[in-house]
Amino acid sequence: MTRVDVLVVGAGIIGLSSAFHVKRLCPSCRVLLVEKHPGPGHGDTGRSAAAFRAFFTSRTNMALAASSIAFYREVQEREGFDLGMRFTGYLFLLTEEQHQALAPVLEELRRRGLGYRVYSPEELEELLGLRTRPGGEEAELMQLPGIDVGVLAENAGIIRPERLVEYYSRRIGEMGVEALYNTRVEKILVEPEQPLGVPGEPLPWQKARVVGAATSRGEIRADVTIVAGGAETPFLLDPVGVDIHAKPKKRQVFVIRADRPELRRLLHAEGFNSLGLAPFILLPKGVYIRPAPEDNAFWVGASDHLGRPFSWEPDPQPEEHFYEYGIYPVLHNYLPAFENARPSSAWAGFYDISIDGQPVVLSEPGLVAAAGTSGSGIMKADAVGRIAASLALGKKRAALYGGEEVDASILGTRSRRVEEERLVI
């Protein structure tokens, strides 16, 4: 049996950040990280679309993302540790109706000093080769709306998750956090504070707490266990009666090589940032395009709502028809540069979708759970880790990077105090 002060379950980006901040706040704590994969970031962290934006309507979402992005920027620019961050911007392509609906939100964001730029249809046509009025039989059948305006969020862009994973895992190694890979958590352990040795403990009248985990390498006991299992978190917490209020949903990302002049021109579009790169583009109907300049490619995907299941499987595979029928028809109708483009590769992972699209960080005696990042975990990981670490160390408040303090219970389920997010992809 191993005994530690803080056990962190999961070496995805949330677990890594949590372990880092626990050790930073409590250098004398013995912190142990366990992960079923052979290394850090091998799960859904590495299967994301790897983009970031400090552009949300929920103040909480904004604080989480903006402070995390500022921290990553500091790491890259001051510490000189390349995270592959590129401030390409996020371009929302909107109908006039959507723009009208968002107008008060954008006004509020402007007041808060969140820079954005507005593009006319003519500018979008010129800079991206965008068909703002897609026509033809297919476009009509699909009821593809016309695009009347582009809104570019400037404090936004792309990042390389494997570099961020490398940063945190290197730092926690230096700080003395122990890590056990290839180690599967079989069960979170709950015990009464004063065990009696009778059946069914903890009994309803007993004060119970989480005391660690049973793993494939034996029992690990801890004062506090931080569960950061991403989309698999419910499988660990349901058996102990804790509801993280998040569910797994498959995400698929397809890689399109910029192997012809039209796509190369699009990838290196001018007019959006000082890098001469296309921004992260949000087309109507939930289709998104991420520039991947290091691969001379684009990553494309689509969010969906009603109809596709909440479910989990150990080795999710991308589905050819999801690209062919789900993404391509939208893609090529708006951006003819993608005409006949087919993916050269693809992967699938899981979103971990919470009740409101914002992360969940809850605490119970001996337990902190951090999950539900809903597809924006990387861009908020530093802040989520700070909040999880603060709860694990019994603090009422958490200091985000840059100094803003938040109530550490803000992302809990019963204690939740987050605002509605209206800039949803």
Residues 6+ apart with CB under 8 A from 174: none
CB atoms near residue 408 (< 10 Å): 25
- CB closer to a copy of itself out of 357 and 385: 357
3-state secondary structure of 267: helix
* Least gap, CB of 241 to a copy of itself (angstroms): 5
* Least gap, CB of 364 to a copy of itself (angstroms): 5
Pairing of strands 405-407, 397-399: antiparallel
Say if CB 271 and CB 127 are below 8 A apart: yes
From 15, 41, 46, 202, residue interacting with a copy of itself (rule: CB under 8 A): 202
- CB closer to a copy of itself out of 118 and 203: 203
From 29, 93, 211, 242, residue interacting with a copy of itself (rule: CB under 8 A): 242
Stretches 47-55, 216-224, 241-249, 258-266: which one binds a copy of itself (CB under 8 A)?
Answer: 241-249
Is residue 304 at the binding interface for a copy of itself, with CB under 8 A as the rule? yes
* Least gap, CB of 58 to a copy of itself (angstroms): 13
3-state secondary structure of 132: coil
Which residues make beta-bridge pairs with 219? 214
Stretches 20-28, 289-297, 386-394, 412-420: which one binds a copy of itself (CB under 8 A)?
Answer: 412-420
Is residue 385 at the binding interface for a copy of itself, with CB under 8 A as the rule? no
Is residue 200 at the binding interface for a copy of itself, with CB under 8 A as the rule? yes
For residues 331-362, one letter each, b for 16 or more C-beta atoms within 10 angstroms of the residue's C-beta and e for the rest, the string is bbbbbebbeebebeebbbbbbbbbebbbbbbb
Stretches 32-40, 70-78, 103-111, 242-250: which one binds a copy of itself (CB under 8 A)?
Answer: 242-250
From 25, 26, 70, 142, residue interacting with a copy of itself (rule: CB under 8 A): 142
How many Cα neighbours within 13 Å face the side chain of 185? Answer: 29
* Least gap, CB of 16 to a copy of itself (angstroms): 26
Stretches 123-131, 258-266, 321-329, 385-393: which one binds a copy of itself (CB under 8 A)?
Answer: 321-329
CB atoms near residue 311 (< 10 Å): 12
Say if CB 330 and CB 226 are below 8 A apart: no
Is residue 146 at the binding interface for a copy of itself, with CB under 8 A as the rule? no
Residue 382 burial (CB < 10 Å; 0-12/13-18/19+)? buried
Is residue 145 at the binding interface for a copy of itself, with CB under 8 A as the rule? no
* Least gap, CB of 220 to a copy of itself (angstroms): 18
Q: Give residue 375's region: left, alpha or beta (phi > 0; psi -120 to 50).
A: left
How many Cα neighbours within 13 Å face the side chain of 400? Answer: 23
CA angle 94/56/371 to nearest 5° reads 120
Is residue 210 at the binding interface for a copy of itself, with CB under 8 A as the rule? yes
- CB closer to a copy of itself out of 38 and 309: 309
Structure tokens belonging to residue 190: 């709950």
Is residue 277 at the binding interface for a copy of itself, with CB under 8 A as the rule? no
Is residue 353 at the binding interface for a copy of itself, with CB under 8 A as the rule? yes
Binding site for a copy of itself (CB under 8 A): 141-144, 190, 194, 196, 198-205, 207-210, 238-243, 245, 247, 249, 285-287, 302-311, 319, 321-322, 325-327, 329-330, 353, 355-356, 364-365, 367, 413-414, 420
